[in-house]
Structure 1
Amino acid sequence: MKLRQKSLYLVVFLILTMMLVACSSKETGNASNTTSQDAESTVEGSGSSNGPTSLTIMGGTTPGGTGDLVATIGENAARIAFPNAAIRKTPGGTTEVVTKVEKGEVEIGYGLPPSNYEAFHGIGLYNGEKHENIRFVLALNDPSYITILALESSGINSLEDLKGKRIGIGDGRTLTSIAAKEILKAAGLTDDIMKKSGGGILTGDWGEQYRMLGDGQLDAVISGAQHPMTAITEMSATKKVKLVPFEEAVLKKVIEKAKWYITEMPANTYDWQKESYLTIAVASHLITNKEVPEDWIYEFTKAFWENQEKVVWPVKQSWNGIDYSKDALIGNDDIIPIHPGAEKYYKEVGLLP
């Protein structure tokens, strides 16, 4: 009897032990599955295996303007490079963008060589505040030309004729508006002289200022953009307009202080513009902060240049079909350092030794 009871107790003990082992294995398996699922979820939430979960591109203050268009192509490249990331494009003037990038508040921004140079070295507009964290990513060599537009009936045929006139120079935060003031100053038209002569130098939205020009509220508008510019094309469809010529001596004074270059906007850029137009220009750049991971900028740069038909060509008709990659480094010879991620890509494709 006692032997039978002992055998029964042993059987019960063995059954309980097996049940406990089975439960323990199940919990361990569940924990392992949960960990695996969490890991998969983390990877899925990233733009790539090592990419960002979110990324901001900043540039442009006027829809359809140069900064806005270049920021748009940056956005297009980011969406290809990081398909699962939250990509956001936000507006900002050139000087504002450089400072935001410097502080790490945006990952990629629209910049121009003169502004980038002054910011990095802490001179000019950035006097005493060096922006040494900014880095070059790429250039789009569709020059932004400075133009002065007036109505054909205005009687304005030279820079001297602008004295006493109401001149729009666009958003005061942009490099173009700063260049516009330098041009007027080099021509002897300072703020004080303009006011005393009954004129004025006015800031504001370029689109609105072109409308004001057409309505007679302004006498001329100075702007910088890649041409043909939508606002000028639309205005010239209903108004007879002309480009006010620059004097080369004035332009030489301007480029002594800034990283612009003297060039000519080709004839027939607009159907009413029969001759080339002497002016100053600059290439558009995208910049980043030195702390943005190397692999992020490498993937972004690669996506940009190897998908131009999706990134660049659809944004502007005049860009369609043009391979800009050969000039990816133009205008950055002595401006700011190249980000290691971009440098890695340019070495791979032979643009850097």
Structure 2
Amino acid sequence: MAMAKELKFAGSGVGEPWWIIGHITRRLLEPLGYQVEVLSESGSTNNPRYVGGGKADFGATVPQTLGWAVRGEHLFQGETFVPLRSVGRVRRPSWLTAAARWELGFTSLKEIGESDYPIRLVTHNLRSIASVVPNEVLKYYHLTKEEIEAKGGTVREIGGNDYRSTDFDVIIGNLYMGRSMVTRHWSAATELMNLRFLDLDDELLAKLTADGHGTPGEVPFHFLRGVDRWVKALDRISDLLIYLPESTDEQFVYDLTKLYDTNRGTFFGQAVQMAWEPSSVTMGDPLPLHAGAERYYREVGLL
């Protein structure tokens, strides 16, 4: 069955990586007569619900979220979705890192966790998918919301801060390569405040690596104001999956896959740098390839 000409792409907040992939998809399909609406309310765990529940025709998200969805785990317990298939993978350089106000004098997260200082922490929404790994860091350093509040401190979500008034003490969060809405909290904080970037402990990095959250890495020297050395961080260079229902028209998926593969530079030339990664197409977990995508990859010798 031929595809409808008006399609919906499940992205995330405007300017975030999933939304940018949707924007790229819209631009690539427009010359073929398609109109693609990129949805912004389908971020976090809503993404598989939109694609797998008929609210969107295709989308992009992280493999971990899709794995939970198709297996009915974590926030998806008891939910079922239509069979989903992968189109391809996009790589996105990012790190999980931490910084503190220079004036406080702290030189490590361990020192902060062991102190009685009532810190004002900003991090990702503790109930969102973005906080899965930051929460592990907070537990390791005894900086959970409960432990901080017991000392008179506060925990707030990244994004609503007036950095000119130095209204926080510590920031722990994901840092992306590039400058966009999704990275604005880091760029604004480092430009308006004096921050000391803090290394993550080797033991913690080894644990996070063993749990499949990334690998030991470093925030690049001088990437931001205050990064005055190579800072030990969790390297989260991770794949984003572009995916859709198994029932999607095979020829449409073939054509879409070809558009992505023959326009690879489009992914890199964005505010958040990404790269189309055809060499990873054989990685089927958590979704196998759609038949249309598989046909294209075989024709060009990638399978």
Q: TM over 0.5: same fold?
A: yes
2:267 to 285, 292, 312: 312
- In the alignment, the residues of structure 2 paired with residue 125 and residue 101 of structure 1 have an alpha-carbon distance, to the nearest angstrom, of 16
**Contact 1:148/1:222 (<8 A) preserved:** yes
The alignment status of 1:123 with 2:77, answered yes or no, reads no
The alignment status of 1:86 with 2:2, answered yes or no, reads no
Aligned to 1:166: 120
Aligned to 1:34: none
Give 1:295 deviation, angstroms. Answer: 1.9
1:237 to 161, 171, 191: 191
2:203 to 249, 252, 256: 249
- In the alignment, the residues of structure 1 paired with residue 187 and residue 71 of structure 2 have an alpha-carbon distance, to the nearest angstrom, of 38
| Structure 1 segments unaligned to the other structure (5+ residues) | 1-48
Letter in 2 for 1:338: L
Give 1:131 deviation, angstroms. Answer: 4.8
**Contact 1:77/1:303 (<8 A) preserved:** yes
1:77 to 28, 34, 49: 28
Give 1:318 deviation, angstroms. Answer: 5.0
Deviation per residue, 1:131-167 (Å, 9 max, x gap): 5623222222232322224333343432234544222
Aligned to 2:52: 102
- In the alignment, the residues of structure 1 paired with residue 279 and residue 226 of structure 2 have an alpha-carbon distance, to the nearest angstrom, of 30
> In structure 2, do the counterparts of structure 1 residues 290 and 318 end up closer, same or farther at CA, with 3 Å as the change threshold?
closer
Considering fraction of residues, name the structure with more strand: 2
Letter in 1 for 2:33: N
**Contact 2:9/2:38 (<8 A) preserved:** yes
RMSD: 2.9
Considering fraction of residues, name the structure with more helix: 1
Give 3-state SS (helix, strand or coil) of 1:101's partner: helix
The alignment status of 1:58 with 2:10, answered yes or no, reads yes
Give 1:97 deviation, angstroms. Answer: 0.8
The alignment status of 1:196 with 2:150, answered yes or no, reads yes
**Contact 2:52/2:82 (<8 A) preserved:** yes
> In structure 2, do the counterparts of structure 1 residues 333 and 264 end up closer, same or farther at CA, with 3 Å as the change threshold?
farther
What is the number of equivalent residue pairs in this alignment?
292
Deviation per residue, 1:217-264 (Å, 9 max, x gap): 222333324223441334433333333221132233334445544433
**Contact 1:122/1:129 (<8 A) preserved:** yes
TM-score when normalising by structure 2: 0.81
Mean alpha-carbon deviation: is it higher for 103-112 or for 157-166? 157-166
> In structure 2, do the counterparts of structure 1 residues 216 and 270 end up closer, same or farther at CA, with 3 Å as the change threshold?
closer
Give 3-state SS (helix, strand or coil) of 2:36's partner: strand
**Contact 2:178/2:272 (<8 A) preserved:** no
* Percent pairwise identity: 20
- In the alignment, the residues of structure 2 paired with residue 173 and residue 290 of structure 1 have an alpha-carbon distance, to the nearest angstrom, of 30
Give 1:95 deviation, angstroms. Answer: 1.1
- In the alignment, the residues of structure 2 paired with residue 247 and residue 340 of structure 1 have an alpha-carbon distance, to the nearest angstrom, of 44
Give 1:84 deviation, angstroms. Answer: 1.6
| Structure 2 segments unaligned to the other structure (5+ residues) | none
Aligned to 1:298: 254
Alignment of 1:320-339 (within 5 A): 324-329=276-281, 332-339=283-290
Max Rg structure: 1
Letter in 2 for 1:236: T
2:218 to 264, 276, 279: 264
